[in-house]
């Protein structure tokens, strides 16, 4: 018999046999290999783009146009000496890098990179897995990735890595709530937790049915800022603020274990860029022409093109913006992202109940937000005048 959970994937519509299992294994191997190659290309791409922004040449020695520079750096790290501090918790110290890299790959496994392909009468999706609770799985993996950073800093037996780990925990709370509420808006519109279902829900009309438009752009902006903080990308790279913490949580790591953290950061960047394309930009959806041969490559091309835009945006932000102070990051998360995402969630939910009802909710939120902002400004002004109690100061 076929499980109702497996029946959502057309590959398992007629049961599970050795051809289906072989296709699944091939999809896992291809996805993992493609992601590793994408990480190598992303490292080269970032170094080249930033060097162009700074009027430099960038990598140009290893391979044509420096394409093999990432491979050369990986080989160098592989043969370097692996050091473990005397005060470190050896088991946790060794485990932490894998807790950072595994969630990045598992999150990418539920991303649909194309449409459907039929080989030898077996039709399957161009994604590793499509669980009915894919969005919950994504949120779980994004929350789990911070454990690798936390355990790496705690197990190093040094104060500077511990400070970087504590920053990671506080930073996670500030942006995870806003990111979760922006994802909830997408789920409310699509009516499903499946990533494939969300993509199909946006494929009714090109661009017009994308969640970028249907949610009013604000959740997309909140989600993009949140994933930039989650992947520790500038200007939110406070976890690895080397000007303040020597190197952050990975200070005591070397050789292959340091390479795993480096790999996890760039893999997370690629994965979350693919996720934002899936949730808000229709995934592989786009104008298609009837091509009798290899027509399944056109949606893949659309998906890669959209993802590349966000990868360039991540590199552009790194080259253009200075690092925020830690208090500025906390203010952005708690005082801007969370209130705005909560208010916009109420507007989207009310619009689903009744279109005109959202105007009433938006007006009420505007009034309450204005009053709250005014009270915060008055309180800050009194604190600046030296009156913490808010009373009258006699000068």
Please state the domain extents for the chain.
Answer: 85-353, 355-388
Give just the sign of the alpha carbon dihedral 143, 265, 312, 38. negative
- Beta-carbon contacts of 252 under 8 Å, excluding residues fewer than 6 positions away, are 83, 85, 88, 93, 156, 157, 158, 161
pLDDT single digits (tens) 288-342: 656 666 677 888 888 999 999 999 999 999 888 888 887 888 888 888 888 888 8
pLDDT single digits (tens) 287-296: 765 666 667 7
Neighbours of 388 (CB within 10 A): 9
Tokens, residue 51: 């060097």
Instruction: Tell me if the bond preceding 235 is cis, omega within 30° of 0.
Output: yes
Residue ranges in the chain assigned as alpha helix (H) = 18-53, 69-78, 90-108, 134-155, 159-190, 195-201, 211-214, 218-230, 242-245, 255-280, 297-320, 326-331, 338-353, 357-384
pLDDT single digits (tens) 357-387: 667 777 777 777 777 777 767 776 776 666 5
CB 33 within 8 A of CB 108: no
CB 145 within 8 A of CB 103: yes
Tokens, residue 72: 């050369």
DSSP 84-122: --TTS-HHHHHHHHHHHHHHHHHHHTT---S-EEEETTE
Helix (H, G, I), strand (E, B) or coil at 293: coil
Per-residue DSSP letter, 236: S
Which of 111, 178, 181, 102 is CA-nearest to residue 146?
Answer: 102
Which of 84, 142, 38 is CA-nearest to residue 258?
Answer: 84
Q: What is the pLDDT of residue 245?
A: 59
Q: What is the mean pLDDT of each run of 10 residues along the chain (395 residues)?
A: 48 71 86 89 91 87 85 86 84 88 88 81 81 88 84 86 82 84 90 89 79 88 90 81 70 86 88 92 77 74 91 90 83 87 85 73 74 72 61 45
Tokens, residue 361: 């909710």
CB 215 within 8 A of CB 189: yes
Rounded Cα–Cα distance for residues 361 and 348 (Å):
10
Per-residue DSSP letter, 247: T
């Amino acid at each position: 018999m076929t499980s109702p959970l497996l029946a959502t994937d057309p590959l398992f519509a007629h049961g599970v046999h050795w051809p289906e299992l072989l296709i699944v294994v091939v999809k896992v191997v291809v996805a993992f290999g493609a992601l590793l190659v994408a990480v190598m290309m992303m490292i080269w791409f970032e170094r080249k783009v930033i060097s162009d922004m700074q009027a430099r040449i960038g990598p140009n020695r290893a391979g044509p146009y420096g394409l093999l520079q990432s491979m050369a750096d990986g080989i160098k790290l592989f043969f370097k000496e692996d050091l473990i501090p005397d005060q470190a918790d050896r088991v946790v110290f060794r485990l932490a890098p894998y807790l950072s890299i595994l969630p990045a790959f598992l999150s990418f496994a539920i991303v649909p990179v194309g449409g459907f392909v039929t080989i030898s009468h077996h039709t399957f999706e161009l994604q590793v897995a499509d669980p009915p609770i894919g969005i919950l799985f994504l949120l779980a993996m994004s929350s789990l990735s911070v454990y690798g950073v936390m355990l790496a800093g705690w197990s190093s037996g040094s104060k500077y890595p511990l400070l970087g780990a504590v920053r990671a925990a506080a930073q996670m709370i500030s942006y995870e709530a806003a990111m979760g509420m922006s994802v909830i808006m997408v789920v409310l519109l699509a009516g499903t937790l499946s990533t494939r279902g969300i993509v199909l829900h946006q494929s009714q009309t090109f661009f017009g049915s994308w969640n970028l438009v249907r949610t009013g752009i604000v959740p997309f902006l909140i989600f993009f800022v949140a994933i930039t903080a989650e992947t520790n990308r500038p200007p939110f790279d406070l976890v690895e603020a080397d000007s303040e913490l020597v190197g952050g949580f990975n200070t005591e790591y070397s050789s292959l274990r340091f390479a795993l953290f480096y790999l996890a950061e760039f893999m997370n960047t690629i994965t979350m860029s693919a996720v934002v394309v899936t949730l808000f930009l229709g995934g592989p959806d786009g104008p298609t022409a009837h091509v009798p041969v290899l027509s399944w490559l056109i949606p893949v091309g659309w998906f890669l093109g959209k993802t590349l835009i966000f990868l360039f945006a991540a590199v552009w932000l790194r080259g253009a913006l200075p690092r925020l102070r830690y208090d500025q990051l906390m203010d952005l998360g708690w005082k801007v992202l969370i209130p705005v995402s909560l208010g916009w969630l109420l507007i989207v939910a009310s619009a689903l109940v009744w279109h005109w009802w959202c105007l009433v909710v938006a007006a009420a939120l505007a009034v309450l937000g204005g009053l709250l902002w005014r009270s915060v400004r008055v309180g800050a002004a009194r604190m600046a005048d030296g009156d913490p109690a808010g009373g009258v100061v006699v000068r």
